[in-house]
Amino acid sequence: MDGQTETEVADSKTLERRLRYERLSRYWLLGAGLFAVALFALIVLTLAHRSIPIVAEHSLIELLTSANWDPAQNEFGFLPAIVGTIYVTILSMAIGTPIAILAAIYIAEYAQGRTKVLVASFIDVLAAIPGVIFGLVGLIVVVPFVGDYLAPAFGSHSIGLGIVTVSLVMAIVVTPFIISLSVESLEALPDELRESSLGVGATKWETIRTVLLRAAGPGIFSAILLGFGRVFGATIVPAMLIGGQTAIPDSPFDAGETLPSLIVNDFGELMSIPLTQSALIFAGLMLLVIVWLFNFGAMFIRRRLQRRWQY
């Protein structure tokens, strides 16, 4: 009798302890889940709050359309940096996207066995190489290439640093990223698609072009959008290779400035002027909002794809 009550007491104690952990874990995990939302809100609100002084002083229109950037003279025109960012984004995506998609097609549809595993994992590993390494190799290899060969070939003059240089390097940075995501959406397609297309007499390339690319289209498109977001927010490579010149570039071989590189190049020395601080935080906010739009678009498209193919 006695022994039984003792176990009963011990049992109820254990149960109590287990339930206490259960309750505690509930609050902790709920907190962790909400942390993602809170972090995002905190970042947006902090940046927005700190941007108020500059937007109050100079109107939003002026900030976005003035080409004059000279914080010491109280001139804050973001247009040169915006134009530079758009230049770099469009150029590097124009170079990188076709190559990335073709390479993804090779990996998903042509490569087989060992080669496939090797090529795919090599590109996967490479997606994790730090940006500074690409910047450094850009300085060693791409800068002289652009300055000595590419610019003269186009009848232009360049010191090597500039928008084309950044675009070439960013194209290299962004391809592994687009390739991985595109391969993923191509391989997720059901094999029946390939079989029935080949079965009605299409060649392999016709199958890829008319069936697979169309079916995986939303997935690939969302990969491209995410790639846009990547290039848009890239910081270290532009800061190392763009030459740091806040004027609207006349030619793609000119030095320029992108929004992130503007933040990096101007923060150090100008932190003492409060309005400059605010202006650069405003640049960060712009980046966040635009990248957010890209990502949101990508998410929306991918969700449509999933609904269509149900995988």
Partner 1 sequence: MDRYTEQRLFGLLARASAALVVGVLAMVISVTLYRGGRVFLTDPAVMITPPGSRYMLDGGGGFLHAVLGSIFIVVPATAIAILLSLSTAVFLQSDYSSERTSEIINMFLNVLWGTPPIVYGVFVLTVIIAVGAQTSLFFGIIAIAIFQYPIMTRYTDEALRSVPGAVKEASYGLGSTRFETARITIRSALPGIVAGVIIGFARGIGDAATVLFTAGRSTQMPGGLFEPATTLPILIFEQAASFNAEVRAHAYAASFVLIIAVLTLIIASKLLAGKYARFAPGGRHS
Instruction: Find the binding residues for partner 1 in span 52-81 (CB under 8 A).
Output: none
The piece of 2-10, 149-157, 171-179, 188-196 that touches partner 1 (CB under 8 A) is 171-179
**Contact with partner 1 (CB under 8 A) among 133, 157, 273, 304:** 133
Any bridge partners for residue 69, and if so which? 76
State the minimum distance, in angstroms, from the CB of residue 219 to partner 1: 15
284 vs 74: CA distance, rounded Å: 19
Choose which of 12, 35, 149, 251 interacts with partner 1 (CB under 8 A). Answer: 35
DSSP-H helix ranges across 58-162 = 60-65, 79-105, 113-126, 131-137, 143-145, 151-153
Cα separation of 218 and 232, whole Å? 21
- Joined together, the tokens standing for residue 114 give 């060992």
Distance of closest approach, residue 253 Cβ to partner 1, in angstroms = 19
Smallest gap, in angstroms, from Cβ of residue 133 to partner 1?
A: 6
Residues 242-281 that bind partner 1 (CB under 8 A): 260, 263-264, 267-268, 277, 280-281
CA 152 to chain centre: 32
CB of 64 to partner 1, least distance (A): 19
Q: Which listed residue (79, 163, 234, 305) binds partner 1 by CB under 8 A?
A: 234
| Residue 184 buriedness (CB in 10 A; 0-12 / 13-18 / 19+) | middle
Choose between 2 and 122: whose C-beta lies nearer to partner 1. 122
Shortest gap between Cβ of 1 and partner 1 (angstroms)?
26
Footprint (CB under 8 A) of partner 1, residues 190-209 = 203-206, 208-209
The position carrying tokens 């990096």 is: 264
For residue 92, state whether it binds partner 1 (rule: CB under 8 A): no
Chosen residue from 1, 56, 61, 128 binding partner 1 by CB under 8 A: 128
- Of positions 12, 16, 21, 152, contacts partner 1 by CB under 8 A: 21
CB of 234 to partner 1, least distance (A): 7
Q: Which letter, b or e, does each residue of 47-69 get, where b requires 16 or more Cβ atoms within 10 Å of its Cβ?
A: beebbebbbeebeeebbeebeeb
| Count of C-beta atoms within a 10 Å radius of residue 72 | 9
- CB-CB contact of 219 with 188 (8 Å): yes
Return the structure tokens found at 294: 């890209």
Q: How far is the CB of 196 from partner 1 (least distance, A)?
A: 18
Stretch that binds partner 1, among 6-14, 69-77, 122-130, 151-159 (CB under 8 A): 122-130
